[in-house]
Amino acid sequence: MTPHTPRRARWGALVMLAGALALSLGAGALEAREKDKKKGKDAADTPTLVAKKEAEGVFPSTYRPYPGIATAIRGATIFDGRGGQIDNGVVFMSGGKIVAVGGPDTPIPADIAVLDGTGKFVTPGIIDIHSHLGDYPTPAVQAHSDGNEATSPTTPEVWAEHSVWPQDPGFTRALANGGVTALQILPGSANLMGGRSVTLKNVPARTVQGMKFPGAPYGFKMACGENPKRVYGGKGRMPSTRMGNFAVNRSTWLAAIDYANNKEAKRDLAKETLVGVLKGEILVHNHCYRADEMALVLDMAKEMGYKVSTFHHAVEAYKIGDLLRENDVCSAIWADWYGFKMESYDGILENAAFLQREGACVVIHSDDANDIQRLNQEARKAQKAGQRLGIDIPDGVAIQWITYNPAKAMGIAEMTGSLEPGKMADVVLWNGHPLSVYSRPEKVWIDGALMFDATNPKLRPVSDFELGQPGEGDVK
Amino acid sequence: MKRLLAAALSSCALALAAAPALAQDVTITNARLVIGDGSEPIANGTVVVRGGSVVYAGPAGGAPSAGETVDAAGAWVTPGLFATVTTLGLADVSAVGESNDITARSAPFSAALDAAAIINPASQHILVHRAAGITRAATTTLPSGSIFAGQGALIDLDGDGQAVMQPRAFQMVALGEGGAELAGGSRVAAHVLLRAALREAEALVGRTGTPQTTEIARGDDLFLGRFDAEALVPVVTGRQKLYVAAERAADIRAVLAIKRDFPRLDLVLVGASEGWLVADAIAAAGVPVIANGLTDLPESFEQLGATQSNAGRLARAGVKVAINAGSLQDPRRLQQVAGNLVALTRVPGASGMSWGAAFAAISSVPAEISGLGGKAGVLKPGALGDVVIWDGDPLEVGSVPTRVYIGGVKQDLTNHQTRLRDRYLDLDESDRPKAFDW
């Protein structure tokens, strides 16, 4: 037996299967086809085959908020996500929305559930702008490695949502330990243009559509620097240098502009995404470490007519805080990652604080299935580094770095990211100060539905994968 | 410089007795004092370091005095943190291959690799971690060409030109999925390779240097050569600790079983994500664990039971537990992990550690596991004069040292990062470019 025999056998089976299918179509199907042929003679009746356009709704969100009960939390310290702090405050949510936020005298109806928040803290749901959960899920086996279509330096046509495995146990840890209620799943950074991101509600679902954040704009992942030139240069193709990175990017944008101007052009998935960026409908999230490269990207964006929403990782953003402020670009950064690759060599603890000093937008991100569980702690590290130098960063602002600011950069700040009347009731009740290492989420609501309760062992999600396995339903 | 004396000693001996040449005598008063042995902090404590060693640490009353007096003004004062298992001093930038000595996939050696020979005391990582309060570490190459990582060293972080306190302090071997891959594709192969290697080493006991052992090879893959077998002689005779990386409960049981065939092995488990499932067996075997601190994801099929409560549950079962710095983004996150273990004591159903126990898990306990019990990670008479004064609760995220002593020597806390920080305190280039600001 040659090693090829089993494969031939498998093909054989497929052929047989096809034969069986043809048989099962049977006489009825054949008659129908004859009918169609006759109809076809009448040109007016010929159906034109056409795919749905994106604007008509493709892969639409099927997420629906789960039922919740009208609830007020009284007596807690509230960080509203916009930099504010209310001591001994009241948060009242009903119908899935925030109804009222205020001081101890804030009126609440008599017939609702009231939680005593004394000694506890309330924040908006935590938002991670940079996650690969679902696309690079655990267990991190090769069969699950769906985060990078690293077969071409530009793949604007891929959509991260088509790789998301909703059963990734990482979603549940981010909820229970991190209070994460919304997150952006990005393609990886091997490619200059990695594809579309998707924004999810951190509510377990059987399908990715069931997690898609209704109304969230798409993001577009781009990457600077070492990764694209290493991956493709290593394959003996362009780009193999940073100047190659820019050349490929600019050529791709020019082709997209031509496409946008050509009314006769055939549909092209890649260019549809690029045109969406050029029209401002899709937000650019650009992985970029070095300050000088970020400055070049900003000029490329001006040349081509698009806007960068956020630089991700942005380890050297502190060197150009002024430029980033002037261009209204957020920096989504770690608190303390440094030195693991050349372009991260100049990482410092004060990155966020120096950006804040310049009035530039700061977002603390994870890019990691572990760190997403502790974004509050990462924000604290970055805050403390600034406070040591006398930079004024109130606790409310550090919380804003992981709530309102990421929401803004992801284009969902009208709906979530802060505790304001009318917004989604995405709320975390913490058992202590949320910027302390000693604190954890006690309860997490998403759209007013209680999705995690540390005091109730059954009120935590367990993914399909974990059923019947060691540690099912454990505190994790 | 302080190692001038140490150099006169045998290369295997600890340089503990050598009084560092530049050690200052110092008395730190008014401290919120942490001994590091698991006890809770002492208010208004005093630490006295003389001749590079601790001579007193405890309540102010009855404390002797020596040298300069430093008023801590109520600040937290602790022993230096002990980081294990690290790669400090073995790479400048891990993704820059030419700067990275952590692995040697193409080398014909595995167990014989000896990190002590090339540790760079001036590594920025050493300087950065010293500024984070880590004063001593166990550092090692990692398994790449075979299941054996090579021999790890114990180092100090004082950057004085001689980092190594004790070379060849331990050997590390990977079992589980990682070892399986390196052994040719299965756990079964990894276990046979380990046992075969230990048998080769036994055959060499008392005959070191005799070129008689058989190499274990397949094609061009050399799994164990003569020098590797020689390097395992101290392991099989129990003179050198054997760190075994394993995660799954079944793999941990299999590790404990190896001791039945090789009773002199001095085993330490590394990783042990599912250790809590076999905590009683580990405790009964008296094997310490260098546990992944906060791993709670089924990262692989051998970590299905991973939970942040692992360390706490192991400790409750009577296992000696230190935190594995190798499982972290950087060893300077040890304080954060310990703080999280304290946080778990307030989570219903979770197991954590008291503040004192959590601090010990990143100071005295890893030092004890490394063979430095009573010498490092603890402030007791006779211990090394490694003292850290902090700007806040040392287990709280964002707290950093304001002063670090290693062996009684006050350390410079500047490094590449602090120099960048100082340069970019503002973005003012009105007079000259930033390049002139240094």
The pTM assigned to this predicted structure is 0.93
Interchain contact A440–B (C-beta under 8 A): yes
Distance CA B41, CA B39 (A): 7
Taking only the tens place, the pLDDT of each residue in B309-360 is: 999 999 999 999 999 999 999 999 999 999 999 999 999 999 999 999 999 9
Q: Is position A200 within any domain?
A: yes
Question: Domain residues of chain B, as ranges?
Answer: 102-115+141-149+166-370
3-state SS class at A67: coil
Q: Is position A325 within any domain?
A: yes
In 3D space, the residue among B269, B260, B197 whose CA is nearest the CA of residue B233 turns out to be B197
Q: Nearest CB to A348: which of B125, B344, B420?
A: B420
Interchain contact A341–B (C-beta under 8 A): yes
Instruction: Look at residue A182 and tell me whether its pLDDT is greater than 60.
Output: yes
Q: Nearest CB to B347: which of A141, A389, A475?
A: A475
In B38-97, the residues whose Cβ lies within 8 Å of chain A are 92-96
More confident: A23 or A267: A267
3-state SS class at A129: strand
H-helix or E-strand spanning residue A391: none
Confidence of residue B218 (pLDDT cuts 50, 70, 90): confident
Sort out which chain A residues have CB atoms less than 8 A from B349's CB and list them.
457, 474-475
Distance CA A406, CA A42 (A): 56
Burial status of residue B106 (CB atoms within 10 A of its CB: 0-12, 13-18, 19 or more): exposed
The complex's ipTM works out to 0.94
Sort out which chain A residues have CB atoms less than 8 A from B424's CB and list them.
318-319, 348, 350, 354
> Which distant-in-sequence residues (6+ apart) come within 8 Å of B419 by Cβ?
B438
pLDDT attached to residue B207: 78
Domain B102-115+141-149+166-370, architecture per CATH: Alpha-Beta Barrel (3.20)
> Which distant-in-sequence residues (6+ apart) come within 8 Å of B60 by Cβ?
B29, B30, B44, B45, B46
Distance CA B267, CA B244 (A): 7
Q: How far is A225 from chain B (nearest CA, A)?
A: 14
Q: Do A349 and B417 touch (CB under 8 A)?
A: yes
Q: Which domain, by its residues, includes A354?
A: 126-417
pLDDT attached to residue B12: 38
Confidence of residue A143 (pLDDT cuts 50, 70, 90): very high
Instruction: Look at residue B17 and tell me whether its pLDDT is greater than 80.
Output: no
In A302-321, the residues whose Cβ lies within 8 Å of chain B are 318-321
Tokens of A320: 């150009």
pLDDT attached to residue A379: 98
Distance CA B265, CA B77 (A): 37
Per the structure, the count of domains in chain A is 1
Q: How far is A298 from chain B (nearest CA, A)?
A: 19
**Which residues face B246 on adjacent strands?**
B271
Interface test with A, best of B127, B296, B359 (most A CBs within 10 A): B296
Task: State the distance between the two ends of chain A, measured CA to CA, in whole angstroms.
Answer: 49
Q: Do B332 and A336 touch (CB under 8 A)?
A: yes
Distance CA B338, CA B363 (A): 10
Q: Is position A303 within any domain?
A: yes
Taking only the tens place, the pLDDT of each residue in A250-263 is: 999 999 999 999 99
In B114-173, the residues whose Cβ lies within 8 Å of chain A are 124-125, 128
Q: Nearest CB to B336: which of A226, A377, A457?
A: A377
In B381-400, the residues whose Cβ lies within 8 Å of chain A are 391-392, 395-400
Q: Do A170 and B297 touch (CB under 8 A)?
A: yes
Q: Is position A5 within any domain?
A: no
| Distances, alpha carbon B232 to alpha carbons A107, B149, B271, in Å | 74, 12, 22
Q: Do B296 and A138 touch (CB under 8 A)?
A: no
Sort out which chain A residues have CB atoms less than 8 A from B92's CB and list them.
339
CA-angle at B300, arms to A138 and A231, nearest 5°: 70
Taking only the tens place, the pLDDT of each residue in A386-429 is: 999 999 999 999 999 999 999 999 999 999 999 999 999 999 99
Instruction: Look at residue B213 and tell me whether its pLDDT is greater than 80.
Output: no
Q: Nearest CB to A140: which of B277, B300, B420?
A: B300
Supply the mean pLDDT for chain A. 93
Q: Is position A379 within any domain?
A: yes
Sort out which chain B residues have CB atoms less than 8 A from A393's CB and list them.
none
Confidence of residue B210 (pLDDT cuts 50, 70, 90): low
Distance CA A303, CA B22 (A): 60
Domain of residue A303, CATH code? 3.20.20.140
Please check whether residue B373 is in contact with residue B363, taking contact to mean a CB–CB distance below 8 angstroms. Answer: no
Q: Is position A158 within any domain?
A: yes
Q: Do A471 and B304 touch (CB under 8 A)?
A: yes
Instruction: Look at residue A469 and tell me whether its pLDDT is greater than 90.
Output: yes
Q: How far is A5 from chain B (nearest CA, A)?
A: 24
Interface test with A, best of B324, B421, B426, B437 (most A CBs within 10 A): B421
